[in-house]
């Protein structure tokens, strides 16, 4: 379905919803190379004006990627919570932006609304917001999660420690871990980007981090950011996996290029949830969750 917007004496026509979203985005070199970005600043303004006038419900009626062709689209639409969406159902993208910035959009209201929003809705409204607007809304959102420690509490900043090494040398990585911990980093996760995607290397690194953490009773969690299939093989060999990592995309075709699909991600999630290892003890005990230690429900992503 085409959309149009006039700016002065010029009328801009956008072929479909995908085109509006692409043209409304800030200018980026990658989008420019792909031929997606607006051809002028004026066209970008026109796209944002057209986007602001679209009802939020448009994103439920017009899928960016066809429902029949894409499992990610099916997942999004099949799990959409219409009841949660009801309070903002009548809003346009522009009025939704205004609502998000109002006092009415409290932490409680946003938590209740979350199951009713689709990724496309949040992407659309973000294109109408300044960095200051995004920060103002993000401050209202509270996500507290627990594993070996608790992160996301008000007034606290958690940091990932990333002790990479060009040859995955365990001694070099261990030295970087200790150095980072001395600076107070690593309470979010000690996460290594391995140089090679090898099961033996990944398992050895996981065991090494686990040994350091247990020796000094460090309340944190670890992750080696290998491909999910490598982590699955490591789990099958009883490697001490805390978090399962995998880069994902917003469409089935893009995920296929990563060598994954929803079924594989579910398999990894189920495997992680099946783990049951005892909590560490020591100085961080007060930060630990009260539930038995289990791998978290979900996939860990890089910051």
CATH number at residue 55: 1.10.220.70
**pLDDT, mean over the chain:** 89
Q: Whole-model pTM? A: 0.81
250 vs 132: CA distance, rounded Å: 26
Residue whose C-alpha is closest to residue 240's, from 215, 204, 283:
204
Q: Residues 169, 133: one domain?
A: no
Q: Would you state the pLDDT for residue 31? A: 87
In a domain, 293, yes or no: no
In a domain, 294, yes or no: no
Q: Residues 131, 179: one domain?
A: no
- pLDDT score of 85 more than 80: yes
DSSP one-letter code for 154: T
In a domain, 131, yes or no: yes
Task: Please report, for the domain that includes residue 266, its CATH number.
Answer: 3.20.20.70
Point out the domain boundary residue: 138, 154, 172. 138
Residue 141, H or E segment: none
- pLDDT score of 290 more than 80: no
288 vs 252: CA distance, rounded Å: 37
Residue 59, H or E segment: helix 58-61
Residue 289: pLDDT band with limits 50, 70, 90: very low
| Token pair belonging to 38 | 């607006």
Point out the domain boundary residue: 82, 106, 138. 138
In a domain, 298, yes or no: no
Q: Residues 120, 186: one domain?
A: no
Q: Would you state the pLDDT for residue 293? A: 34
Q: Residues 279, 229: one domain?
A: yes
Give the domain extent around 61.
3-138
In a domain, 85, yes or no: yes
Of the chain, the percentage scoring pLDDT greater than 90 comes to 82
256 vs 279: CA distance, rounded Å: 36
Residues in contact with 213: Cβ distance below 8 Å, sequence separation at least 6, in sequence order: 148, 190, 220, 222, 280
Q: Residues 132, 163: one domain?
A: no
- pLDDT tens-digit map of 220-232: 999 999 999 999 9
Q: Residues 190, 234: one domain?
A: yes
Exposure letters 198-229 (e unless 16+ CB within 10 A, then b): ebebbbbbbbbbbebbeeeebbbbbbbbbbbb
- pLDDT score of 277 more than 80: no
Point out the domain boundary residue: 92, 111, 138. 138
In a domain, 88, yes or no: yes
Q: Mean pLDDT, to the nearest integer, of 133-148?
A: 93
Residue 292: pLDDT band with limits 50, 70, 90: very low
What is the tally of structural domains in the chain?
2
In a domain, 154, yes or no: yes
Q: Residues 161, 109: one domain?
A: no
Q: 10 Å Cβ neighbour count for 288?
A: 18
Q: Would you state the pLDDT for residue 116? A: 97
Q: Which of 87-96, 139-148, 155-164, 289-298 has the lowest mean pLDDT?
A: 289-298
Q: Residues 132, 23: one domain?
A: yes
Of the chain, the percentage scoring pLDDT greater than 70 comes to 91
Q: Residues 170, 266: one domain?
A: yes
Q: Residues 65, 7: one domain?
A: yes
In a domain, 100, yes or no: yes
Residue 286: pLDDT band with limits 50, 70, 90: very low
Q: Residues 126, 156: one domain?
A: no
- pLDDT score of 285 more than 50: no
Q: Would you state the pLDDT for residue 15? A: 92
Q: Residues 131, 150: one domain?
A: no
């Amino acid at each position: 379905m085409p959309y149009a917007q006039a700016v002065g004496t010029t009328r801009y026509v956008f072929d479909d919803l995908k085109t509006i979203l692409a043209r409304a985005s800030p200018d980026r070199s990658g989008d420019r190379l792909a031929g997606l970005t607006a051809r002028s600043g004026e066209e970008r303004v026109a796209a944002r004006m057209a986007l602001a006038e679209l009802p939020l419900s448009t994103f439920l009626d017009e899928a960016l990627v066809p429902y029949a062709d894409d499992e990610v689209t099916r997942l999004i639409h099949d799990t959409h919570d219409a009841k949660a969406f009801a309070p903002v159902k009548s809003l346009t993208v522009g009025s939704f932006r205004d609502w998000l910035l109002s006092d009415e959009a409290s932490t409680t209201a946003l938590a209740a609304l979350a199951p009713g929003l689709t990724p496309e809705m949040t992407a659309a409204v973000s294109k109408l917001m300044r960095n200051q607007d995004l920060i103002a809304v993000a401050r209202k959102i509270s996500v507290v999660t627990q594993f070996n420690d608790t992160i996301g509490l008000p007034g606290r900043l958690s940091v990932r420690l990333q002790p990479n090494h060009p040859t995955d040398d365990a001694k070099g990585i261990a030295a970087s871990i200790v150095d980072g911990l001395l600076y107070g980093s690593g309470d979010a996760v000690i996460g290594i980007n391995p140089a090679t995607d090898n099961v033996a290397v990944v398992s050895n690194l996981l065991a090494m981090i686990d040994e350091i953490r247990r020796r000094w009773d460090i309340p944190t969690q670890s992750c080696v950011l290998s491909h999910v299939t490598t982590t699955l093989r490591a789990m099958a060999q009883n490697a001490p996996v805390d978090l399962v990592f995998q880069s994902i995309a917003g469409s089935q075709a893009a995920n296929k290029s990563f060598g994954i699909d929803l079924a594989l991600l579910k398999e990894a999630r189920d495997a992680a949830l099946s783990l049951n290892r005892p909590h560490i003890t020591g100085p961080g005990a007060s930060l630990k969750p009260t539930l038995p230690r289990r791998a978290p429900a979900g996939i860990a992503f890089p910051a």
